[in-house]
Structure 1
């Protein structure tokens, strides 16, 4: 899991390419958690960001957050830091709100280099971090409040057109990373995932990535990885708190949304490209999952991208 070869098959998501092409080469990307959830879903299968560190701040609700071989099951307010290229997945409640920051690793290297002195502890941002407000001692609450304020400042600055906006954002990011590093000594206790379960879960995700366009039914997946449906369901519920069928469905839906926003293909062309033999069935599938027609969803989100 920790080797480069082992993670090559895991979907690599580039926020600037797969979600918001206005920021294709940006070193910092901010969005509200709920906006990303509309696009990617609240039950996000295993994925990675090859050159980007990501920070999720969830204001409320129960969360399962799986980073590499660790599973954090906590309630908000909570913060998760995922290092670049580390596989992770998560499940959040429908009413959850918060912030998501995606930061290029070059900025993280700069912070670590500028902060490293022989008389100070080194930054350790090579492992996943989970911080939750309820587990902090009284002396750490001011730092937590500062983190929350910094995230609000980043959101406000992101949406502004103020003088030296890029410099201000970088400065806020520097401060945020420092505060997270200071609190990370009291990480929330994680649950180690059984190695056999983890291997099976990743085999399933790999097969999903390879075959979701072919609309494989669950028995075909279980046959391919040599496991029973009940066993696979148990593992998926244990690690991701969702069913195998939902993981397959969410991956297909995510690809539909990506093509609706970032391609000029017609609705029928998208349907055929993603293995739907009948455009009418494609339309029913999409509306059942989103509550909107594909055309209405495309118009709404393309309008949001240019606004």
Structure 2
């Protein structure tokens, strides 16, 4: 289906009246909404799901959330009329994201949430706001694993609820042995202890994990991506805020805040996002 370049593509159609209408009539979980004037209309807070264990993307440092996903979430919430102190953060593990949205426990999810047709059967998406690529994390001295087709007989770790490891088994290395862990930190621990030979997820996530002081020098990203992962904003299926969220992402890209947040999130990791795919194209809300 046709996709439209996010930068400037909806500016022609977007008017202040439409933006106000889209933002002030939310039907997600019954307690979100707002206008563009900075005061939330329809509720005193907005609940946003993020990851707590992905350095550089969604990471809870004490009581403070940090990372690129967090910065995009704060920007979008601001455009929807919520100040930062009106945001309630909720941990959203991969296996629980659809449930959290469909039961109204969160209003939006920014959690490296790849847009897929299967997930669209349960939730809706705005965005995407970033395009990553699936890759592998291996021991720093590993020269045997060079891509997803070199994993037969190897042990591969991914997080419960993620589709990344099963994709490798289905499409590249039927003989790979899969191990699931509740979080990425546990997968990297399994890697550094020799329990598994590789960890798989998106390249930007692996880069953040590899850059942690406790992992530095022990692991490396293979650097051979084999997918395009469109990070979308998860919203309930009955939400009417898709267009408003897309407009907020467009504004973030156009005013430079998107690039600033991405640079801060990836600084020192050695990771360079695919410039041909980022900033990304957004998916029309009427898909």
TM over 0.5: no
Higher strand share: 2
Structure 2 length normalisation: TM-score?
0.28
Which of these two proteins has the greater Rg computed from alpha carbons? 1
Relative contact order (alpha carbons < 8 A, sep ≥ 6): 1 or 2 greater? Answer: 2
